Amino acid sequence: KKKKKNLGFWHDHPKVPRAGTLPLRSSRNPFEEVSGLEEEEAGELGSLPNGTSCRRRATLEKLAGLAPFRLGWAPGRRAGSPGDGQSRSFLGRVLVPGIRRSSADFGLLARLHGTRAHGDEEAAGEAARRLAFLRLGRGSKPQRASLAERVVPAGEAAPEPPPKVPEPPKMKEPLSVLEILSLIQQRELARADEHILELEAEELAPSGGGAPGPPKAEGAGGGRRARDVALLYEALQRELWALVRETLAGPGPGACAGAGAVAQLGQVLVQEEAADGRRGPGAARKLRARWAEAVARAARERLEAAAPGAPGGLAGQLEALRARLLEDMAVVRGRLAPAYPAGLGAFGVYLRGYHGALAEWLGASARRRLPLADRYALLHWHNQVYPREVLGLVDMAALENGELGPLLSPGTLRGLEDECVTDVKAQTRAALLRVLQEDEEHWGSLEDQHSSLAQDVCELLEEHTERAPRISQEFGERMAHCCLGGLAEFLQSFQQRVERFHENPGVREMLPDTYISKTIALVNCGPPLRALAERLARVGPPESEPAREASASALDHVTRLCHRVVADLLFQELQPHFNKLMRRKWLSSPEALDGIVGTLGAQALALRRMQDEPYQALVAELHRRALVEYVRPLLRGRLRCSSARTRSRVAGRLREDAAQLQRLFRRLESQALWLDAVVPHLAEVLQLEDTPSIQVEVGVLVRDYPDIRRKHVAALLDIRGLRNTAARQEILAVARDLELSEEGALSPPRDRAFFADIPVPRPSFCLSFPLFLGRLPLSRLARPSLACLPRPRPPSLVRPRARR
């Protein structure tokens, strides 16, 4: 009973907190409350109403069981205040939290928690049992009348309560170094940085006058505070840069889950940038620049992790880098950059970090001795893939300092291009000669094999000429010039080997069909190689023109040589038919011309295997040579027209043969249309009777065929039997005048020459009457057959006839 009364008095005492109501974080010092309670027990309280003494004391273990103390700064207590000397020990620092705990207490706290962990658990259990007992013994709280009910009589209105006085704002308690470190470890980075800045401000603030300085301990207390700040900043930066690495890894295992941590990182950067303005240039920590460096390191790690495991050599590694770049930049654009404050330009920082890391990787690769294919892949990825497929998908306006620099320096790119050109020149020269030698081995065989020489050459060169322009226009021009030079050298060697092939006597012993087939295969190499040379010359620089001309000259020589060989073989077979022309039987029988047309038509099937360009040239040459061989016996004087009837028959036959030959070569797709009129013009000269008409026809003939000469016209007049000297001179004067007017003109090209390939006998002359008047009898001069005689030899060469 006495115990119950004592407990009730303890419950009602105004200085003693009731059980279960002590706050967890009290602004008052509980140790001072306990001390005041002891003094009042000694003075004011005396004894309890039942006469018993009330001198009970609250021990530290019991108070610690009732409520945990918050360690930190207490208002009203300063360093150097009375009683500060009593808090020098660790126990005093724990119970009297007037000084912020520094890093020197970390080890003591660890030892305390380690040795008293079991004792604290027992004290906490005892406190819990005591609180339960006090609640049971106290009973229910009695209802008391308020002060207003006691003073105001019943029935009257109670006065209004006095206005509440606003409580003074509670001062924010600074955290200890250990608590700040705990915040960093829990990734509450922005809050931890705020407390670090406060701790740094306490270190930098003056201790005398003005703002209160930090508590100074004996000895090296100021140096300890500076070390605490430095250690906290190191821990903070470790967490910040680890956060940068984790956020780039994506939402996978080990990655940061949300954007809240990134937002805290951005807030720390903003806070530190503002603090750098207060610190000054010499003391600025420059966390924003270190953040950019951390982003670059993380990007380098990401790229290095993606490249080594990619298959396919350097090209596969570059493709893996492209995929990793696109993946990470998508994460930055979608998740990370929006979480940062807008003023930091986070997207530009990440882009520059990846760009710099990629530049380092490519520079290291370029310094190695790479094969030709890897150099092509590196140059193409640098010049085309990265700008188009990576930077092309990025908003370059997000960069603060303009455009990004080049991944590789111009000198490095030029060196890679020079190495490519050198390797291509060496490789193509050896490869082209090897292909030519392999193909030449089949030229002398009797088997009709398809030649792939031109296709192999084009594939070897186009592999480089098609890849280089896709890298850059300048590099494409250099590569085209290099390949064109190699092609010109190859074609000159090809020309020499074709000449040796046709000069070989054993080759000519082949069957004509086999020989023609081999020759056609060589001719077919010309068009694709010619087209390749023209294309390379168009792409290459102006210095490529000599190489193009050399290539064209070699191909023209090969084509003409092969055409001449084919034409010679064909006209050897046609020569018996041409020998039957311009004879008396020819006037009455078309047998000779039918043989010519039939043979040419049969050989046309073999000639069709030739490609279009050389085929057209060959058919045009056959057309020209056929007409030359047709006109040759006519101008040689095999046939003489002694009457107008004979001239009409010969002219008609010439027109019929010309029409038949024209139909043949139309069927063979000859483009030499200028040859169609030569035989009809000759027929007109033979058939016309009046001199002016003959003059006009000769003028047309000379105009259309500039290589005709007076000897050809004179031979034609002899065939038609024109003996009139005046008429002959008038007609020949037309040819002479045209010859004189064209003396300064160039001779027609070889493919337009016709009469130049037709030799005629020396022109005849007409004897003047006084010359032989005393030497020949007049009866002989009267004979028409002696009116025109061959021109005599010079006198020095004529031997006098011996007299008998």
748 — pLDDT class (breaks 50, 70, 90):
low
Per-residue pLDDT band for 379 (boundaries 50, 70, 90) equals: very high
Do both 238 and 347 map to the same domain? Answer: yes
Q: Is the pLDDT confidence value at 21 over 80?
A: no
pLDDT of residue 409: 93
pLDDT at 417: 94
pLDDT at 254 (0 to 100): 43
Which residue bears the tokens 């490529």?
Answer: 544
**Residue 134 has what pLDDT?**
46
Percent of all residues in the chain with a pLDDT value above 90, rounded to a whole number = 40
Query: Same domain for 588 and 674?
Result: yes
Pair 243, 391 in one domain: yes
Alpha-carbon gap, residue 258 to 187, rounded angstroms? 12
CATH number of the domain residue 681 falls in: 1.10.357.70
380 and 420 assigned to the same domain:
no
- Give a yes or no: residue 59 inside a domain: no
Q: Where is average pLDDT lowest: 442-446, 478-482, 574-578?
A: 442-446
Q: Is residue 407 included in any domain, yes or no?
A: no
Q: Are residues 386 and 491 in the same domain?
A: no
* pLDDT greater at residue 792 or residue 252: 252
pLDDT grade for 5, boundaries at 50, 70 and 90? very low
Q: Are residues 555 and 418 in the same domain?
A: yes
Q: Judge whether residue 54 has pLDDT over 90.
A: no
Q: Could you tell me which of 359, 384, 584 has the C-alpha nearest to residue 468?
A: 384
The answer to whether residue 56 is domain-embedded is: no
Return the HEC string of 132-183. HHHHHHHCCCCCCCCHHHHHCCCCCCCCCCCCCCCCCCCCCCCCCHHHHHHH
CB neighbour list of residue 229: distance below 8 Å, 6 or more residues apart:
196, 199, 200, 203
Rounded to 10 deg, the angle between the 545-578 and 526-539 helix axes is: 160
pLDDT of residue 447: 72
Domain C-terminal end among 381, 401, 421: 401
Query: Is residue 700 included in any domain, yes or no?
Result: yes
Average the pLDDT over each of 34-38, 199-203, 683-687 and give the range with the smallest value. Answer: 34-38
Q: Show the DSSP H helices in 505-643 as ranges.
A: 505-508, 512-523, 526-539, 545-578, 584-588, 591-607, 612-635
Asked whether residue 206 is assigned to any structural domain, the reply reads no
Backbone angles phi, psi at 764, to 5 degrees: -80, 165
**442 and 482 together in one domain:** yes
Residues 389, 344 share a domain? yes
What is the average per-residue pLDDT within 108-115?
41
Residues 6+ apart with CB under 8 A from 63: 30, 34
pLDDT tens for 617-662 read 999 999 999 999 999 999 888 888 888 899 899 999 999 999 999 9
Q: Is the pLDDT of residue 535 over 50?
A: yes
- Higher-confidence residue: 555 or 641? 555
User: Does any domain span residue 24?
Assistant: no
Please state which of the ranges 35-44, 465-474, 705-714 shows the lowest mean pLDDT.
35-44
- Taking the C-alpha atoms of residue 772 and residue 774, their distance in angstroms, rounded to an integer, is 6
587 and 723 in a single domain? The answer is: yes
Last residue in a domain, options 514, 534, 562: 562
CB 16 within 8 A of CB 146: no
Q: Are residues 418 and 397 in the same domain?
A: no
Q: Where is mean pLDDT largest: 146-155, 638-647, 658-667?
A: 658-667
Q: Which residue do the tokens 């005048």 mark?
A: 737
Final residue in a domain of this structure, among 366, 401, 436:
401
> What average pLDDT does the structure give for the chain?
75
Spell out a b/e string for 403-440, using b for 16 or more CB atoms within 10 Å of the CB, else e: ebeebbeeebbeebbeebbeebbeebeebbeebbeebb
Residue 298 CB partners (closer than 8 Å, separation 6+): 241, 244, 245, 248, 353
Model pLDDT for residues 323-375, shown as the tens digit of each residue: 999 999 989 988 899 999 988 989 989 999 999 999 999 999 999 989 999 99
pLDDT of residue 371: 92
In the block, which residue shows the tokens 């298959």? 311
- List Cα–Cα distances, 591 to 65, 232, 290, 664, in angstroms: 140, 117, 103, 16
Looking at the predicted structure, is the pLDDT value of residue 596 above 60?
yes
- Predicted confidence at residue 30, as pLDDT, reads 39
CATH for 432: 1.10.357.50
- The whole-angstrom separation of Cα 237 and Cα 189 is 10
Residue 525 falls inside a structural domain? yes
Under the banding of pLDDT at 50, 70 and 90, the label for residue 743 is: low
CA torsion, ordered 458, 461, 463, 466, to nearest 10 deg = -100
Q: Among 252-266, 306-320, 587-601, 777-791, name the one with the lowest average pLDDT.
A: 777-791
State how many domains the chain has.
3
Asked whether residue 418 is assigned to any structural domain, the reply reads: yes
Residue-level pLDDT at 589: 87
Same domain, 600 and 550: no
Predicted confidence (pLDDT) at residue 278 exceeds the cutoff of 90: no
Of the listed ranges 382-391, 441-450, 614-623, 630-639, the one predicted with least confidence: 441-450
> Is 80 exceeded by the pLDDT of residue 784?
no
Question: Are residue 464 and residue 372 in the same domain, yes or no?
Answer: no
Question: What dihedral do alpha carbons 256, 261, 262, 265 form, nearest 10°?
Answer: -130
Count of H helices and E strands in the chain? 31, 2
In terms of residue numbers, what domain contains 192? 177-198+228-401
